[in-house]
Each structure stands twice: as structure tokens, then as C-alpha cells.
Amino acid sequence: MQSSPYQTGQRLSALFFFVVFVLFVLFGRLFSLQIIKGSDLQAKAVDQWTRDLPITPKRGEILDTNGNVLASSKTAYTVYVRAKGVTDPLTVAEKLSEILDLDFETVYQKASNKGVSEATLKRQVDEVSADEIRKCNFYGVYMASEPYRVYTYGNYLSQVLGYVSVDNKGQTGIEAYYDKYLKGIKGQILTQSDLVGTEITDRETIYIPGIDGLDVVLTIDSVIQSVVENVLNLIMHTHNPKSAKCIVTDVETGEILAMGITPGIDLNNLPRDDMQTLLDNGRNTLLTDIYEPGSTFKIITAAANLEEYYNGNKKAFSPSYVFGNSNYRVINGSKISCWTSHKNGKHYNQTLSDALNNSCNPIFTDIALSLGKQTFYDYLELFGMGSVTGIDFAGEQAGLLVPESAVTDGDLARIGFGQTIAVTALQLITAVGAAVNGGLVMQPYLVKEIRSDDMLAARFQPTVKNRAVSERTSREIALMLEDVAKNGSGKQAYIDGYRVGGKTGTAQKFENGHIAEGKYVSSFVGFFPANKPKYAAIVIVDEPVGQHYGSTVAAPYAKIIFEQIINYKNIPRVA
């Protein structure tokens, strides 16, 4: 029976649509493979027929503010072997084990094991050995340059610079904080290979260069840093403390000019097999560890009082106000005495300046209680207590401040003279800087530029966080502290003609909630010149043996640092 023309037309139409559908599917598949997934599939294909060696870029240098190199990189090599490309494993093993001082059997096993695509023979190979390997011209043996870190002065500035891992990645300090700028971008050497991974000798080797890291320029002045390091070593030798620390800042800008801690670590010979020593001596405790500041904190209390007085607060004391009996106070049943009354007998009739000179605890108790919890805490906040300074460094702690809602009169009284509050050394010198520089809290910083030879990537400028007190209050506090350094407890730091100001502190340490007998933190924070402060330093001596007063253990060493800065900067005497 013959089909009708209508049926034939239907079949042709169905066949046509079927062919169109198949072509559409094929076209869609091709479109997906070539257009949508094309780049991914091409990358996978390239990966299958090529072998690559990483090229580690040169890590950027770390320099001081004057351009002196503190951390740099030298080139070493990593030697690889690809067994599928090795034509004579025995000769390769004999020669390379000799050059690299490796076990023959180990090298032979790696050079002949074709089940492994690539094996590392040795890292940190020097240039001389690398040249010997190049002369051998072995198939299947490759070398990749691998910069390694070198620190110009070893244990100098060690807790600030930090260190890198064996893979050249920043682990601590500036090396870690600015790692993304310092590390650069890796390159590659691409070689074509056959299906079993053997290199095709007549094909082109593709070299994709890495991009070297950027250089980081610190605010640290290596001359001032050297002075600090030498002074800290002198303190360790003379007083045999647990540790000695120092920060030197520019109070006008917030720049950290020196930051030293002894003992430290040798960055070129890290004790990686002794993690406890590495952790203990590698931390920047000037901003990670807290302590009770003691009498150095009276600067903040005095500044808060004067600012409130000039703002018209009748509960604040004028500079000329005469405090009566200042031998002791009893707060909530607890007696707070003045240490000078034990030494010199009873004393009366002290002004605020006298109280700073004599470091009289009861008077600062009076000030804190008179200002009251809310007002005093407002100033603690303005000066940065209980919060981080914002320095460009990881791990900074915020200190320890009793919450305002929980503070008692006894707590408030003791905070007034530097107890029942814990700060970092960086917090305290930042706050003192604000008290004397005109009243501005400057954000401390360690890096001023990030750059390469032909490009400036970033430049950091001084940052004002807030105003703590007025210029008038600041000027008067600076002059009062000059009198402390000239005639009071800080006189061993005074330098004729340079108007040094400052305050000593001697705080007993607490262990397990109790006073640790015979253990003290001795300190001095000072600045010069008092009429226009520029340089400030804090010296902290933890658990000195024998003498323990800040006036004898810390102040004289701050004087040495200031004298050396004067000589270095050729600073003229002031009226």
C-alpha cells in the first residue's frame, strides 16, 4: 500500500526537525565546550602537557627612616628531580649526592622513581653548588631560585621586625603585618612534556617572571635604636632584671623612633627547636603585655584635673590650691599612704606641682574622688585607656580597666595614682605624649612608606585620634613635669640646657592576686624640651635586683638616651 503525499510530508518534516534537534544539541555542546568552558578546558590541557617550577620573587627590603637596610634577601636554590625525564639515574645520584652532600641511596631513589612526577632534593642550595649542577646539564634535574631572609643586625629590633617561615612567609612583626606587600607575586617556568610526563626537549620553555615584593620603610631611626639597644644591655648588666624595655617617640607625629626589648632573639639564627624561647623572647611585649604603671600614671590624673579646673568644674583643684595633711587617706577602710611620709616624716601644704614632685599618692586619690567616676572615666577614655592605640602591628592589647559601672571608690582612688589599672607601655607613652604635646592623642605608627625603586605605593601621615586636653593644660603639665625632673624624683634624668620633663614610677608586682614580695616594675617616662616637647621615651625595668626605684633604675638611662639623641641631632641648648 502506497503512502499518501500527506504522510510522506509528515515523515520528511519529522526527519527535518530531528536533524535540526541533533544539530542544535551538537551546536550547544560545542558552544559550551569552546565558549563557556573553553578557557577552563584549555587551562586543564595546558596543565596536562606542561610541567611548572615556581619562581619565588625577591622579598621586599625593610629599611629604617634614613634608608638603611634592616632586612633583605639573598638568593639560594631549590633542586628538584623529575624521574621521568632522567636518562641516567645512577650518574645523577652519584654526582648530586656529592655536590649536595646528600645520601646516595636517597637521591637515587628519587631520581629513578618514575611513579612520582617531581621530588625535592634539597633547599637553600648556595650559588657555588648551583653552578656545579648547571655544568652537569642533567635531563630531569631542575633548580628554582629561592630568596632567603637576612637581617643586618641579627638580634637588633628583633621583636619589631619579626621573622619569616622557611617558605619566606611573614610570621611575626612587620614581616607578618606587611607580608602582602613584602612577599611579591610568584612566577613560573613552564616546560612541555609527553603523556607520561617526560620533557619534550625540542619544545619551548616558557618563563613567567615573578614580581618582586615592595620595600617597607619604617619610622625607626637606626641610630636611636642602636642607642636604645646599648642602654638596655647596660641595664641588664647593671641591675640583672628579668627584662628591660624602651620606646622612643616623636610626640608631635606619633612616629616610633625606637622600640627595644632585652632579651631578644637572633633573627638570623632563630631557636625554632625551642618554641618557648622563641615565643617568650620574640613577642613585642611593649604592646602585648600589660602592667600597673604606678606613679607615671599621675601625669594623666593631673592633666584631667587641670583641664576640668580650666573648664570651670568647681570640684577640680587649681594649680595654686594647697592640699593640707597628705600623709594618708582611708578609703572604704583601706589606708593609702604617701611613701615620702615614711621617708621624711609628715608633710603638709602641697600644691599639685609639689604632689607630682613628691609623688604623693593621697593627693591623687583626692583628685580622682573629687572629679568623680563619670568625669574621670571620660578622661581615661580620651587618653586611650582601655582601648588599643591602633598601631600598625598585630597583637596589641587594650590594657585592663575596671568597667565604669563596676568601679568602687576604692578602685577609683587607686586608679588616680596608677594602681587597679593596667596598661601597655605603648598606651602610656601615647597618653603622656598627648598630655604634653599640646593635648592631641596621636596614633603611633611604625611604617611611613611602602615603595619600590620606581614607585611609591603608599605613604602614611601623622593621624590625630582626638584631643584629650587643651593647649593651656598641656603646656602647664609639661612645665610641672620639668620641675619633677629638675627638682623631684626624676632629677637623674635632667639635662641642663635641654629642659627635660618626666615622671618616675615604682610599682609592686602581683602574682596570684597577692603582692609578690621584692618584685617591682621600675619605670620612667620623660620628654624634652619641656617648652615644646618633641622627643619622649619610656624606660621599663622588670624585677631589677637590688635597687628598685624608678628614680635610680630607669631615670638615669633615659638621660643617656636623651643625651645621645641631642648629640646625634645636634640639638642646641634652649633658654
Q: What 3-state DSSP class applies to 351? A: coil
Residue (of 177, 202, 199) closest to 445 by Cα position: 177
Angle at 138 between CA 136 and CA 140, to 5 degrees: 155
DSSP state of 574: -
* Grid cell listed for 435: 598630655
Note if 353 is an active site residue: no
Alpha-carbon separation of residue 467 from 398, 433, 441, 463 (angstroms): 19, 12, 6, 12
445, 399, 438: which is closest to 421 by C-alpha? 399
The SS3 call for residue 561 is helix
- Give the burial class of 143: count Cβ atoms within 10 A of its Cβ; 0-12 exposed, 13-18 middle, 19 or more buried: middle
Instruction: Return the amino acid letter for 341.
Output: S
* Per-position b or e across 383-393, b if 16+ CB within 10 A of its CB: bbbbebbebbb
Rg (CA), the chain: 34
Question: 3-state DSSP call for residue 292?
Answer: coil
Among the listed residues 295, 353, 522, 523, the single catalytic one is 295
What DSSP string describes 104-122?
HHHHHHHHH-TTSS-EEEE
Q: Where are the beta strands (DSSP E) in 28-160?
A: 50-55, 62-63, 69-81, 119-125, 141-151
Q: Which residues contact 333 (CB under 8 A, 6 or more apart)?
A: none
> Is 553 in a helix, a strand, or coil?
helix
Distance CA 58, CA 213 (A): 6
- The secondary structure of 39-57, three-state, reads HHHHHHHHHHHEEEEEECC
Positive or negative, the CA dihedral 62, 464, 306, 423 is negative
Q: Which residues are catalytic?
A: 295
